[in-house]
Chain A
Amino acid sequence: MSTESATDPSSRDLTCGTVAELLPWLVNGSLAEAEQAAVRAHLATCAGCRVELEETLLAWQILDQHIPSLPLAEYAQGLTPTGPDRERIERHLVHCPSCREELALAATVEPVLDFDQGRRRQPDLFHHPRARRPSVPVGRTGRRPLRAFALAASIAALVGAGSLLWHASGPGFNESEPIERRAEAPKDTTASARDRGAGPDRLASSRVASAVLFKDGFESGSTLHWAGDSGDDAIAQPPQGFEQPSEGFLKSASPRGPAPGGKG
């Protein structure tokens, strides 16, 4: 073992201590050419420093160990990992950015394919605090709120439309008439009154139409056809067996609720 006291790493004459310190950078290939040549020259003649190099390589092997790719992929897919258990994998992920990055790749949500009728399971790896969660919701959990929102919006639109019809078809609707008088107006079922939108009949027909809309789940049906196209008498007198919707129907009706007087 040489005992030179040189401290400049680029010097040809290095001490064993300096060589031992430089070995990690010899291994990662970042030593300048002169330094590398000096370290190599020293190693060629110093058995003790070659042992140091062995130890550096061993330490490198230990500290550069990552989760093997198969267990990492299995973990990403929610399967039981082969080899290191889940806890060990998770502890490693805490301090290993490269494994976290690979995990994010392996957990990437794929597009839904024509072949696949079912939905894939959400990988259960995201309880890890630093793992990235996909921004796009997946599967049932992501679609249900959207569907519920669409349903709620449809109901709100229908209720709004019903309310408009209600006001528009008030008895003897006249913008210039006071509200009290409008409310007290006699039920006029003459043709002229109906022409300008007679209240009760028009109201009945609008309610029937709304009721059928609800009953049929927003699909036009035969009853809806009746409500719109039949003659005046038919509007005043609905077909037999048809129960007039109650006042509170519009508020209480559910899209999937039983049809009023129907077969449900």
Chain B
Amino acid sequence: MDDEDLISRLLDGDADTIARVRTWIRAAFQAYRKRLGNELEDLEQEILLELTEALREGRFRGSSTLRTYVRTYVHHKGIDRLRALGRRTWVDIESLELPAPAPTALEQLSRSEQVAVALRVQERVPQPCRELWQMLRQGLSYREMSRRLGVAEGALRVRVLRCRQRALELREKILAESR
């Protein structure tokens, strides 16, 4: 049975085909079983519905097999879910009534362009700077970071501030280059 038949049967609600696609989804989910646990059941249902919708809308371009398409989709959703779970609950900054400045040059770009610019900045910032930010992402306090890095707290805070400045300068430079 080729992919076209499979898609057609899936969209017709053929039980065997649905079971088959479910098996593919579950096989790809094996990697996430430990981390996502009970969430997998809901996620499986969600993926099946979204896949059916995507296939109905003709978003499957046939550049891979249907199974690879399903597998890719499962990993996409699985990684998304892991990232959502791993995201720290940051301090409520919105309540600070920040000023609403005009959209920056970065914000005027499309999402994919913003990602590309950010990735380029990351490539150019020095490795110690990336490491500092990784520690910040892990939610470490400046005391813990200074202890781990063996530097004074004040020196560490200045380093992080410089790192921030460096990243913003690089962003401006990259945006200027791409204009």
Check B93 against A51 for contact (C-beta < 8 Å): no
Query: How many angstroms between the C-alpha atoms of A54 and B94 in the bound complex?
Result: 11
Query: How many angstroms between the C-alpha atoms of A122 and B160 in the bound complex?
Result: 42
Check A24 against B79 for contact (C-beta < 8 Å): no
Check A28 against B139 for contact (C-beta < 8 Å): yes
Query: How many angstroms between the C-alpha atoms of A117 and B121 in the bound complex?
Result: 45
- Contacting B at CB under 8 A, from A88-137, are 88, 91-92, 95-97, 102, 105-106, 108, 110-111, 113, 115-116, 120
Check A62 against B96 for contact (C-beta < 8 Å): no
Query: How many angstroms between the C-alpha atoms of A51 and B101 in the bound complex?
Result: 9
Query: How many angstroms between the C-alpha atoms of A236 and B64 in the bound complex?
Result: 64
Complex interface bits, B103-117 against A, C-beta within 8 A gives 1, otherwise 0: 010100000100111
Question: Assuming A29-B89, A30-B140, A80-B63, is B99 touching A51 (CB within 8 A)?
Answer: yes
Query: Whole-angstrom distance from the CB of B47 to the nearest CB of chain A?
Result: 12
Query: Whole-angstrom distance from the CB of A91 to the nearest CB of chain B?
Result: 5
Contact pick for B168, options A24, A55, A80, CB 8 Å: A55
Question: Assuming A53-B98, A108-B30, A116-B67, is B164 touching A69 (CB within 8 A)?
Answer: no
A43 interface residue per 8 A CB criterion: yes
Query: Whole-angstrom distance from the CB of B29 to the nearest CB of chain A?
Result: 9
Query: How many angstroms between the C-alpha atoms of A69 and B64 in the bound complex?
Result: 18
Number of interface residues of A (CB under 8 A): 63
Query: Whole-angstrom distance from the CB of A256 to the nearest CB of chain B?
Result: 33
Nearest to B174 among chain A residues (CB) is: A62
Number of interface residues of B (CB under 8 A): 69
Complex interface bits, A61-90 against B, C-beta within 8 A gives 1, otherwise 0: 111111111101110110110011000100
Query: How many angstroms between the C-alpha atoms of A62 and B118 in the bound complex?
Result: 5
B residues near A105, Cβ cutoff 8 Å: 31-32, 75, 78-79, 82
A27 interface residue per 8 A CB criterion: yes
Task: Give the interface of B toward A (CB within 8 A).
Answer: 20, 23-24, 27-28, 30-32, 63-64, 67-68, 71-80, 82-83, 88-91, 93, 96-99, 101, 104, 106, 112, 115-123, 125, 127, 129-130, 133-134, 136-137, 139-142, 144, 154, 157-158, 160-161, 163-164, 167-168, 171
Which 9 A-B pairs give the minimum distances between C-beta atoms?
A65-B118, A73-B75, A21-B157, A108-B31, A30-B141, A106-B75, A69-B79, A110-B27, A59-B164
Task: Give the interface of A toward B (CB within 8 A).
Answer: 7, 20-22, 24-32, 36, 40, 43-44, 47, 50-51, 53-70, 72-74, 76-77, 79-80, 83-84, 88, 91-92, 95-97, 102, 105-106, 108, 110-111, 113, 115-116, 120
